[in-house]
Amino acid sequence: MTGLALRSLRHRMTAQVATFLAVLLGTTLIGSFATLVETALALGPAAPDRDADRETLIIMGAVVGGWGSLIVLFSVASTVGLTAARRAGEIGLLRVLGATPRQARRLIRREALAVAVLGALAGAVLAAGTGWLLLDLLRGHSVSASVEYAAGPASLGAAAGLVVLTSVAAAAVAARRSTRAPAGVTLRDSDAETGRMRWYRVVAALVLIAYGVGGGVVTITVTANSDDPYAAMQTSGSCSILVGLGLALLAPLLLRWLAAPLAGLITGLGGQGAGYLAAYNARRRAHRLAAVLAPVIVLTSAAIGTLMLVSIDTRTLPGGTEDSDTINLLNNVVVGMASLFAAIMVVNAFAACVADRWAELRRLWLMGATPTQVRRSVMAEAGVVAVVGLVFGALGSLATVIPFSVARDEGVVPDAQLWIAPLVASVVVLLTLGSGRFAARATMRTALGEVRRPAT
């Protein structure tokens, strides 16, 4: 199985490149923050004059980096799970030929392990450099200019190991789902998305949403009256991320519920055939398109929530002090890095989701659809994902915006800079539609090439 796994990698390069990039970027982001923690521990308790520097680095690396790591690990797991789930037909064929379910699961796990190890090693090397740049950004502002970069194998190895374990675990879960049914059923239904969401996924989503909403309630009822001006930020700052992650876990259900109501809108924009195909495929492929929808929801929720939080904090507690400048810097850094990672994951997941659909798109072309009509149907699917992601991402951001705005005496609706939400929405729409267009054009080239290739 190990030899077969390694040989099969080169036959599905698009999917494996998507997984490799997810692991590479995930390790780089987590490792960058982890190096700050190791640098802080290297200062040692024997230097009492460095207590403030040590505390800032630990907060930056462990707390802020920890919230960013949730987004990273969720996105990595989604991409790896999508790549493994797409192989249900191939796994069914292997089982028909005599492979046992255990052998099939072992094949998927070892492929994921091989790609994850390569991506994690490359990401650890990059994290050594990006961690130094992150510390250099803090020197002279949040920490002393004399603080030396002291990260090494401990932090980088821990980051790489965490991402590899997440990747293998996600592949194992997807492999088990692909081999649970009898071989004939798996082969016949490989393109159908008829499976129900597992109860533990729904429970995890409800827990995250409840925890995020609960943090908002605590902000309004308790920390709003605290003497510490940043107590409200501590309890509400992460709420949009938590609720966004919870809604992202429910992405397959959200697509199934909202694809049909959106069909009318998409029909008017992309043509009747494109709208029908988009609504149909969004329901039938909900689990696969959920890998694209999830980072859209998290990106929208985290970006709007954190940027509005910084905006409210700047108005109600003007900067200029060491604490305010440091906290706003931390917020801007985490929203920038997390948003960049989520944006890359949107492009990555869409490419992985559409890459193996060339046979389906080829059949549409053979039945009379023009290449433009086929591309429009994929673009319409991207429109469904963008609209659903914006709606629920914006709802998730309210878990931070409303409680913090009330705590800072601005009311339910902040007093200014409401243009932040439309700006983020515009960027997300352009990113999602652009990803869909790029993936559709690349896949159509493959489909038409297979059709026009002369027989030998």
Contact status, residue 322 vs residue 55, Cβ threshold 8 Å: no
- In angstroms, the CA 391 to CA 328 distance is 27
Which of 186-190, 250-254, 390-394, 407-411 is modeled with the greatest confidence?
Answer: 390-394
Residue 24's CB: how many other CB atoms inside 10 A? 24
Give burial (CB, 10 Å; 0-12/13-18/19+) of 251.
Answer: buried
Q: Are residues 175 and 199 in the same domain?
A: no
What is the spatial distance between Cα 308 and Cα 424, in angstroms, rounded to a whole number? 11
- What predicted TM-score, i.e. pTM, was given to this entire model? 0.78
| pLDDT exceeds cutoff 80 at 391 | yes
Domain boundary among 190, 219, 242: 190
- In this structure, the answer to whether residues 234 and 278 fall within a common structural domain is yes
Instruction: Examine the domain organization and report whether 363 and 228 are in the same domain.
Output: yes
117 and 224, same domain (yes or no): no
Residues 273-310: tens digit of each pLDDT: 666 777 777 777 777 788 788 888 988 998 899 889 88
Q: Does the pLDDT at position 408 exceed 50?
A: yes
Q: How many helices (H) and strands (E) does the chain have?
A: 18, 0
The whole domain housing 52 covers: 1-190
pLDDT exceeds cutoff 80 at 23: yes
The secondary structure of 224-262 as a DSSP string is GG-SSTTHHHHHHTTHHHHHHHHHHHTHHHHHHHHHHHH
Q: Are residues 73 and 108 in the same domain?
A: yes
Residues 66 and 155 in one domain: yes
Of 43-52, 63-72, 130-139, least confident by mean pLDDT is 43-52
Are residues 230 and 172 both part of a single domain?
Answer: no
Tokens of 231: 């107590």
Query: How many CB atoms neighbour CB 360 within 10 A?
Result: 16
**Are 119 and 11 members of one domain?**
yes
Residue-level pLDDT at 117: 92
Based on the domain organization, do 211 and 184 belong to the same domain?
no
Greater confidence (106 vs 330) lies with 106
DSSP letters of 69-126? HHHHHHHHHHHHHHHHHTTHHHHHHHHHTT--HHHHHHHHHHHHHHHHHHHHHHHHHH
- Within this chain, do residues 12 and 50 fall inside the same structural domain, yes or no? yes
- At 356, which amino acid appears? D
Above 60 in pLDDT, residue 46? no
Which is nearest to 79 in space by CA: 159, 142, 4, 23? 23
The number of folded domains in the chain is 2
- Among the candidates 190, 208, 230, a domain finishes at 190
**Residue 455 pLDDT exceeds 50:** no
Whether residues 184 and 224 share a domain: the answer is no
- C-alpha separations of 151 from 54, 56, 131, 349 in Å: 14, 16, 8, 32
Please give the Cα distance from 441 to 143 (Å, whole number). 48
Same domain, 210 and 345: yes
- pLDDT of 399 strictly over 90: yes
Which residues, at least 6 apart from 236, have a Cβ–Cβ distance to it below 8 Å?
Answer: 215, 216, 219, 223, 309, 399, 400, 403, 404, 407
Query: 133-154: per-residue pLDDT in tens?
Result: 888 877 877 778 788 888 888 8
Q: According to the model, what pLDDT value does residue 186 have?
A: 53
pLDDT of residue 99: 72
Domain boundary at 168, 190, 212, which? 190
Q: Poorest-confidence range of 132-136, 234-238, 318-322, 368-372?
A: 318-322
The residue to which tokens 């690396």 are assigned: 61
Give the pLDDT score at 321.
Answer: 54
